[in-house]
Amino acid sequence: MLATHHSRGVTCSPNQIIISSGTQQSLTLLAHILSNIHMSIAFEEPSYLGAKAVFKHFNFNITPINLETDGIDINFLHESESKIVYVTPSHQYTYGMVMPISKRLKLLQWSEEKDGLIIEDDYDGEFRYKGRTIP
């Protein structure tokens, strides 16, 4: 895992990497930390129910964001009050669509404009029938 962050173009130092036993533990750590800062999170709708359950446990307000054919509706995300968003761009959970680079860049722009945080669950990002993984 540590070597993979270099091969996928992630610029970070070793002290910025957290190793956990899986998605649920990672999300629990994030929710615990973020509950001191924000209390609202946007989710793709539909989305991974296990992730929603973690943030509900920490009393976050859940804002569902509709999906378009290429992923989360960025315009609707802009209209929401959330400064945190949970996405599965490499293989949207549950529909399986892949968010194109152009939309990923718009998501990054949303993050800059809102001073927001993106939680990317790349649960299936390494599995491809064709082509390379998207950064």
Q: State the pTM of this model.
A: 0.85
Q: Distance of alpha carbon 39 from its chain centroid, rounded?
A: 16
Q: How many separate domains does the chain show?
A: 1
Instruction: Give the domain extent around 28.
Output: 21-120
Residue 58 lies in a domain: yes
pLDDT of residue 96: 80
Residue 40 lies in a domain: yes
Q: Where are the alpha helices (DSSP H) in 8-100?
A: 23-34, 49-57, 74-79
Residue 74 lies in a domain: yes
For 4-53, how does the pLDDT look when each residue is reduced to its tens digit (9 = 90+)? 544 567 788 888 888 889 899 999 999 999 998 888 999 999 999 999 99
- Exposed/middle/buried for residue 125 (C-beta within 10 Å: 0-12, 13-18, 19+): middle
Residue 71 lies in a domain: yes
